[in-house]
Chains A and B, each alone.
Chain A
Amino acid sequence: MIVTGKPLPLRRANVDTDQIIPARYLTGIDTEGLGEHLFTGMAGGAELLAESPGANIVVAGENFGCGSSREHAAWALTARGFRAVIASSFARIFLENAYTNAIVPVVVPDAMIEGFARARSITIDVAKQTVQADDEAPVAFELDELRKQFILGGGFLPYLASKIDTVRAWQHAR
């Protein structure tokens, strides 16, 4: 699977989920309409989105997705066509939510963030785990070996469903 596209150059650290999508928009029972409110909780967020038409890869600093557990953050990103986030680190719950929603979480050193933020085009090879800014040399990144399968099409809930008998047997023997 190859993800190609343009960066949304957020650059900043600690982009919390209230900035990605404020709580006041979490009033649905489905994932409809969340995209409209993406980054409206971030100072200058909506403007940055407007200035970056066609962007589909977020580029941010450390601790992306910290704060609330709301999966709405991942849903709002996918609703606007975002397929990957390049950051120097992720908060745990967002990272888990990214995998279950097939958003590729790409961790690169902080020093490389600016390069991706300025790139005209970014190419991510999910299977090979490489990320490339324009014609620069591809950079390797880590992915969780199991959860990578959820991005490549395995599906998180079907995987868990396949474990139910194992869990029942374990619980029985507990």
Chain B
Amino acid sequence: MRSLFDKIWDAHVVEELPGGNALVFMDRVVAHEITTPQGAIAIEKEYGDCLYDRDRIVAVNDHVSPAKDTATAIQAQVLRTWAKRQGIRLYDIGEGGICHVIVPERGYVTPGSTVCCGDSHTCTLGAFGAFALGIGTTAQAGAMLAGCLILQRPKVMRVEVKGELHPSASAKDLALAVIAEIGFRGGTGYVLEYTGSAIDSLDMEQRMTLCNMAIEAGATTGIIAADGVTAAYLEKTQEAPSDWLFLRADRDARYAASVTIDGNAVRPLVTWGTNPGENAPIDGVVPVGAAAASLDYMDLRVGDKMSEIVLDQAFIGSCTNSRIGDLREAARVLRGKNVVIPTIITPGSQAVKRAAEREGLHEIFQDAGALWTHSSCGPCLGMSMGVLAPGMRCISSSNRNFQGRMGDGGRVHLASPAIVAASALLGRIASPADIGAPIREEALV
């Protein structure tokens, strides 16, 4: 009768609280430099050295890394010194990367566990069959102090993706398709439990890309049951504990809502508006009924062809699409060609960077004229490493196209790494097919 999410929830409820709330145990707390200092300092001041369990906490300097100015240097230094004082493992520049990329890479998330972080894209980790969610600074401090969050039990929506993902589509396109289907706020109050044959055939990186964008539909998180694919990934992760369980939804599990998507019908999508649900097929147009405020901000009109939108910058990176598979996709498109607009490629972690360089991907990128950087959140949040000027238009493999997200007045179009790469070559929104690139890796061999 129970969904996968129900099983994890039930196994972590310490106590039912008034008003339909529950005290929910957190197996892991992830802390980064932007949202941690205020809370960490507050509990240290008020309660002294009394973290619930320092071994459950992992700290990461990732958002503006290395620091760009005095203020961000202080943030990183506060996280560093706090972690040292409290005996918390810190991933700093040089060995770190984006928290949602390194947490799975280092084995800090296992199926059936709970993870929280003061960051909305913590839902990425639901790909491992874990309950992983973003929270505010004070709630994160509470989880470090008492090992728990106070949560309203979310409802569960089954998102079944049938068939197989169409060869031209990526996990990013599926993520955008899900948001378009249920709506930008359609997931509010729900956990999205992804099932179906098209989900089963995704690799772990693709599952992370999909779960990463659950928050963009307003959902508490996304989750995918662990299977052989998950086990194979975890086995390669030295630090990951092996004592986890294969939890699955019961056959007769009840869901508060269900949607079905035909994987074969998913096509490459690009956003035209100012939230991720405002997207259209790459060979389509800005649709009738598009919100006027979004069009105004993006300087577009109904009926504009997506493939005629001219760009000023391209970015491949972020916790959505910065893993090795994403970089291979980009390299496949960029190989032997030249970008015509400023293009920034930022690996999700230093481990990803090194893996890419072992394969020679950095040569392909740099030969193409792209900037190959160290790992960081970078341009994704408009704080450093490629901030947009007002009116600049950027195609990005990240997850948010909000007004001003990548810089005051900057305009963002979200798409898959392959589309971003093709667009960088043509200076307009373009598909890999437009530059004669094969649509899938297999087609190369």
Contacts and interface: CB of A to CB of B under 8 A. Distances in A.
B119 A18 contact: no
A144 B19 CA distance: 6
Given A92-B189, A92-B218, A146-B18, A171 B43 contact: no
Interface string B111-152: 000000011100000000000001111110110011110101
Given A12-B293, A92-B188, A170 B120 contact: no
A166 to B, nearest CB: 6
Given A14-B185, A93-B120, A160-B145, A29 B38 contact: yes
Interface stretch (B72-80, B87-95, B102-110): B72-80
Interface in A142-168: 144-148, 156-157, 159-161, 163-164, 166-168
Interface in A64-89: 66-71, 74, 89
A160 B185 contact: no
Given A18-B405, A63-B188, A163 B134 contact: no
Contact of A144 (B14, B136, B152, B404): B152
Contacts, number: 178
B146 A167 contact: yes
B203 to A, nearest CB: 27
A27 B71 contact: yes
Contact of A62 (B72, B74, B185, B404): B185
A91 interface: yes
A97 B142 CA distance: 12
Contacts of A144: 19-21, 152
Interface residues of B, number: 65
A14 B381 contact: no
A26 interface: yes
Contacts of A56: none
Interface of B: 14-15, 17-21, 23, 25, 34-35, 37-38, 41-43, 46-47, 52, 64, 69, 71-72, 74-75, 78, 118-120, 134-139, 141-142, 145-148, 150, 152, 184-185, 188-189, 215, 218, 220, 275, 293, 296-297, 381-383, 387, 400, 402-405, 407-408
Q: Which 10 pairs of residues, A with B, have the shortest CB-CB distance?
A: A145-B19, A27-B71, A71-B136, A29-B37, A97-B136, A160-B142, A63-B185, A71-B137, A23-B381, A146-B19
